[in-house]
Structure 1
Amino acid sequence: MESSSSAPQVITCKGAVAWGAGEALVMEEVEVSPPQPLEIRIKVVSTSICCSDLAAWKHHTIFPRIFGHEASGVVESVGQGVTEFKEGDHVLTVFIGECMSCKMCKSGKSTICQVLGLEKKGLMHSDQKTRFMVKGKPVYHYCAVSSFSEYTVVHSGCAVKISPHVPLEKVCLLSCGVAAGLGAAWNVADISKGSTVVIFGLGTVGLSVVQGAKLRGASRIIGVDNNPRKCENAKAFGITEVVDPNSCKEPIAQVIKGITDGGADFCFECVGDSDMLTNALESCCDGWGVTVALGVPRVKPKISAHYSLFLRGRTLKGSIFGGWKPKSDLPSLVEKYMNKEIQIDDYITHNLPFDEINKAFNLMAEGKCLRCVIHMPR
């Protein structure tokens, strides 16, 4: 436990550590260092399993590691120079920070901060070191958050203050999945009323695109997925029809063009499969069809598409965190949730205690859940 000294001390707590690719997470006694300058230490309240956690656990090479990035919590202590947060503040974590002062942040054209952009090495942005130790060994971070620990340390630019009245066990989904899907529909694609939308992949992100499309007044929202359970559940979120590519006698792009009079206005790839992204691009209509890539492929990352698709007017866009600027934009999404303008609760299909985190991973791997929220001990 923390010392009575006024300065933050090392905290020993439980953390779910991945020691190797695809290996079951091990609940370990983790030493969490005090926050360094411009950092905050957070007591995690709720966190959820995202597909990117699952994919990284299977394919990454940097271990041992503490995964998790979609989380909510309470500030336990702050490092030198932190003025935005104080002990007791409620926060959402974000895997892409916002420094507010770099070229990208000031441009108004990008959400990828030059200082606090995508973290790839498993180390803190500030000093390229880790804040976790287990049995004398350093344990690496993930996505600048590492929320599969009772306590974690993040850069203050990778957290967003929210009202203490917001339910932390629900709103954690806005730190990645639900926000990513809504933003892709609204900010990146800018879906118009009466349009035809096709979503490839009906997990949480895909169904959040569905919600965004429905709120924008899309006339047809077509879901593409080979998981019957997901196809059935999707109807409750606003899907007007579903297509299982495994049951089609023609290539999926031909099927989509056939039922949409030549192609959809908007297509979204939410799986993380480069071949599926090509299918999505081919499913768009000539002239103005827009395809948005949200999924992150872990294998075969290069895409292949005939140049004539672009000459004929199609557009391919990438979407990171739905085009939201975390600190600037997330508070408004939280407010929409509190005002019941957007839905979060229905994406939570399972709630589990922290010590059952491997069960949550299995549910995600088997396609048996949307979001499984992990609740930390109070």
Structure 2
Amino acid sequence: MVVRTDTPATRAALVAEAAGILLNGGVVVLPTDTVYGLAAHPGHPEAVARLSTIKGRAEEKPLALLASREEALAALGGTLSPAARRLAARFWPGALTLVVDCAGRTEGVRIPDHALARAIIAACGGLLRVTSANRAGEPPALTAEAALRDVGADADLVIDGGPVSGGTASTVVRDAPGGWRILREGAIPASAIKAAVAERASTAPRGSLPSDGARPLLLFVCSGNTCRSPMAEALMRARLPPACRWKIGSAGTLAGDGLPASLLAQQAMAEQGLSLAAHRSRPVTPDLVREAGLVVVMGRHHFERIIACSPAARDKVFLLGRFSPREAGLEIDDPAGGPLADYRQCRDEINACLPGLTAFLDVLA
């Protein structure tokens, strides 16, 4: 068991460490907006089972999912009713758990109002199983010290994010075809839930990053900078709102200067209404890596090459597949030399990772 303290200077490295442990089947204690939580990746059933063992609770009792963004719900096969969408618009991120039908099963889903927690969840693909970091029947832990005393010794990592300000469990609302109902009144009172359902849905855009004039660079990197990274650059630029303060770019570890995007990459993107006609390749340089606030690579060999040239950048280089809701740690294969179908598959795999990456930007911006 390791204890780490969250600070602005160490946050990116801490997110990477926590995500690495979770993606490899470990268990992490982390702060949320309500209480300290005990987390495991849903893709590792043995790790999820450890949560119940550590807490001393029955394994058949359901464990909620914490999400980094609302799009993660779609990956589960879940949809929200109009009433639930109004609740999500009003209370997410926050202390609302929505219990929804997801492809033949029922899941409780919440988006925490805690930047560090959302960043870790995003780095793990957008979803984590999380339960309160205390023994069954005991009060919830509001500090890392309390969590460590109760359950932390059995976890692989304990993150000290300071005292949490919540202290009250989330309100749980069941969203079903027959209507909604409150299963547990918690941090959000029943009166506020009823009022939000009665309101018209907000039309304000969600997911905009704060704008303070800074323009950190989000740099996508592949090999030749003619297929994968320019597709990622275009898809991400189209996804982010106009008010986003990140600038988006791409480069290649083996790229030459001034080459256009491959014709099949251009065709695959044109099918999405996006053009790569103006793209010209460029190589990754130490200066470009130094400028970047975040470097997102397609394969592990790209990570290794960048770190070999710029060792100080290790904490800001991430594999794009870390943000995949389908397969955490996925490498995006190079479609070069293949048919159009390979480029389409590459495009779609990249696109599936971008909601999680977008949530991660909220913390690093």
Which TM-score bucket, shorter chain as reference?
under 0.3
Question: Which is richer in helix?
Answer: 2
Instruction: State the TM-score, normalizing by the size of structure 1.
Output: 0.27
- TM normalised by structure 2 equals 0.28
The structure with higher relative contact order (CA 8 Å, sep 6+) is: 2
